[in-house]
Amino acid sequence: MEKQLFVKLSLNFNLRSFKDESVMAIIYAVVNFNGQQFKVNTNMKVYKPNWDYRNQKAKVEPYLTKQENLNNSIANKKIIEIREKFEELKLSLFNKSIDNITQMKGLRTIDCGRRKFSIMMQHHVLR
């Protein structure tokens, strides 16, 4: 009998909280994996008022300065790139898990220590 596989793996983007809105906030890629949360610095920054929390991206609006729109566009391109690479990584992990099942080796838990996961994210997704 075939065994079902359920892996909870999601990606969101959050800002590092600063009370002072005049300071640029760091954008973090927040990965939830089977109930564990991992935060990875994207090395991108945005002003807090220029962040669209609902859509998890930087705002590009006519009322912002050209420089703000340029910076926000660059951040949004990086976010799209990270999302695409994350989907590739998810598919790769899924395929490896399926291979384990079909070879009847059983599905072993992925060693997912915080440091190891962050390194994996940086290597596969944030490049």
The overall average pLDDT reported for the chain is 78
pTM for the predicted model, two decimal places? 0.72
Q: Select from 117, 105, 95 the least CA-distant residue to 7.
A: 95
Confidence label for 112 from pLDDT (cuts 50, 70 and 90):
very low
pLDDT at 28 over 70: yes
Sorted by where each begins, the domain ranges of the chain are 9-124
Q: Select from 36, 39, 29, 33 the least CA-distant residue to 10.
A: 33
Alpha carbons 89 and 120: distance in angstroms, whole number: 9
DSSP lists the bridge partners of residue 29 as 13, 40
Using DSSP, state whether 56 is helix, strand or coil: coil
Q: Which residue has the higher pLDDT, 24 or 18?
A: 24
Alpha carbons 117 and 33: distance in angstroms, whole number: 10
